[in-house]
Amino acid sequence: MSITEGMLCSKTHEYLYESGDNYTIGLTDYAVEQLGDIVFVELPEVGSEFVKNEVFATVESVKAASEIYMPVGGKVVEINEAIVDTPELLNESPLEKAWLIKIETSTVSADSLDLLEYEDYKDEVQ
Amino acid sequence: MKRTPLFVEHKNSNAKIVDFAGWEMPVSYESIIDEHNCVRNNIGLFDVSHMGEVFVSGKDSLKFLNKLVPQQVSKLVDSKAVYCQLLKENGCIIDDLIIYKLKDNDYLIILNASRVDVDYDWFVQQSAGYDVKIENKSDELALIAVQGPKAKLLIEKAGLSLDNQPAFFSIKKASIFQTEMYVSRTGYTGEDGFELLMKNEEASKIWNLLLEQGKEFGVKPIGLGARDTLRLEAALPLYGNDLTLDTTPIEAGLSWSVSKTKEEDYNGKRVIQEQLANGTDKKLIGFKLLDKSIARHEYEIYMNNEQVGIVTSGGVSPVLGCNIGLAYVKNIKDICIGAVLQVKIRERLHDIEVVKLPFVKKNNKV
């Protein structure tokens, strides 16, 4: 099964997919390509809670800092330490190795109404 | 939006295009970091045709130019160039530029793209009473920078032998790929390199020949993204960031470039002399971040929880492997090389250390 199957994407280029009891959030391959070389990632602390559309992370390319928004609300249960140490992983593998956070959420059905399926998102941005 | 004569070449190379001072310019072709390293190790081509070219001629040229800048233009011999700042009467910087003496009463000035109109108007306004002709040729001329330790080898291959290449901060008319143009030994990277000034209609041909013939030296086209990281490592100021209408050359750490013995009057002389004698309230410093975060333009600098300055340029240093920046701070003794201050990034303070400039040693003196 392709990783993009069941993946939902926001207009601000975050993705969301179900992983076990939780949901994984990351930055789309399109967004990463637009940003260019990623050199710094700031992630939230485990346990912090965010509502939909709230800024939860910052990703910096050589040129600029970009705020990353929650595609759905929830509580952070895990962060991807590997990308904090190796930000360039985001350029190499945005959809698989370089996810940003995992969350538990109870509002996914209401919050994901405006999200697009991956293929539709790709059509929209290209 | 304006386009340089090389716009089609950039599109064909899949460049990412951004708006820069009203121009559609390539910010990168592939990876900014790879492009940066290509210039430090091999050679890179930059389209800087958006920059301005103004020719000043006539019998009062020298007197006129000497009025505009705090440098001693009289010292220039034919074919030599000098880095200058165009000053207002209050000593603040309208633009930074390079004046090339082509011959007596014949000068070329290269200016920042964002300042061409302002500078030209200033030249015209200031020229009242001087017998000078001021010609803005910016829209007719293309400028290609060839930068990096192997630049001289490509220029040699293009028809100008090593012995005949202009020396550092010099210019000459030469034939490059059988095309007449001005070749200068200047740049904005801290590396050895050349800037080639030619008619717009020659630019595509020359650009493509340089790319093709430069393959054996590892040449790549380089965008504005790497141009910025390269100049920052070399601590070369950027107009609009590090130099503005609120700063003087003395505050900007450019005292080295200002003549201390110039007898002629020039705009801002009183302020410049006063600052040279008594110091300034603010000064430009270089710093490196002590963690992995990145300081950017306009972030605040703190010492003992009190704001003491503001970042003017900040970013990554691919060569040093850390993040660096330039900032204006209060000119006090405690802010010296080795001092640890803080920069506020997204409401949190991060330690920075004041370091010596340039961040990366320049290799441009030949």
Cβ B316–A64 below 8 Å, yes or no? Answer: no
* Omega prior to B249 cis, within 30 of 0: no
Helices then strands, each counted (H, E), chain B: 8, 19
pLDDT in tens, A24-49: 999 999 999 999 999 999 999 999 99
Q: Which residues of A touch B346 (CB under 8 A)?
A: 42, 58
Q: Is B324 on the interface with A (CB under 8 A)?
A: no
Query: Which tokens is B307 given?
Result: 């704001």
CA distance A21 to chain B (A): 32
Instruction: For residue A105, give both structure tokens.
Output: 């959420």
Residue B344 has pLDDT above 90, yes or no: yes
- Sign of the CA dihedral B34, B35, B39, B42? positive
pLDDT, one tens digit per residue, over B261-316 is 999 999 999 999 999 999 999 999 999 999 999 999 999 999 999 999 999 999 99
> Between A36, A42, A64, which is nearest B28 by CB?
A36
Strands B220-221 and B171-176: unpaired
**Chain A residues closer than 8 Å to B16 by CB:** 34, 36
Q: What is the mean pLDDT of residues B172-179?
A: 98
Output the pLDDT for position B110.
98
Cβ atoms of B287 and B353 within 8 Å: the answer is yes
> How many Å lie between the alpha carbon of A58 and the closest alpha carbon of chain B?
9
Q: With bands split at pLDDT 50, 70 and 90, how would you rate the model's confidence at B364?
A: confident
Asked if A63 and B293 come within 8 Å (Cβ–Cβ), the reply is no
The whole-angstrom distance between A19's CA and the closest CA on chain B is 30
Q: Which ipTM score applies to this complex?
A: 0.89
Across residues B71-100, what is the average pLDDT? Answer: 98
Tokens for A54? 């709230």
Query: Among the residues of chain A, which ranges form H helices?
Result: 29-35, 81-85, 89-92, 108-111, 118-125
Residues B98, B186: Cα–Cα separation, whole Å: 9
pLDDT at A1: 63
What is the helix, strand, coil percentage profile of chain A, to 5? 20, 35, 40
Q: Does B296 touch chain A (CB under 8 A)?
A: yes
Helix (H) or strand (E) holding B356: none
Mean pLDDT calculated for residue range B13-32: 96
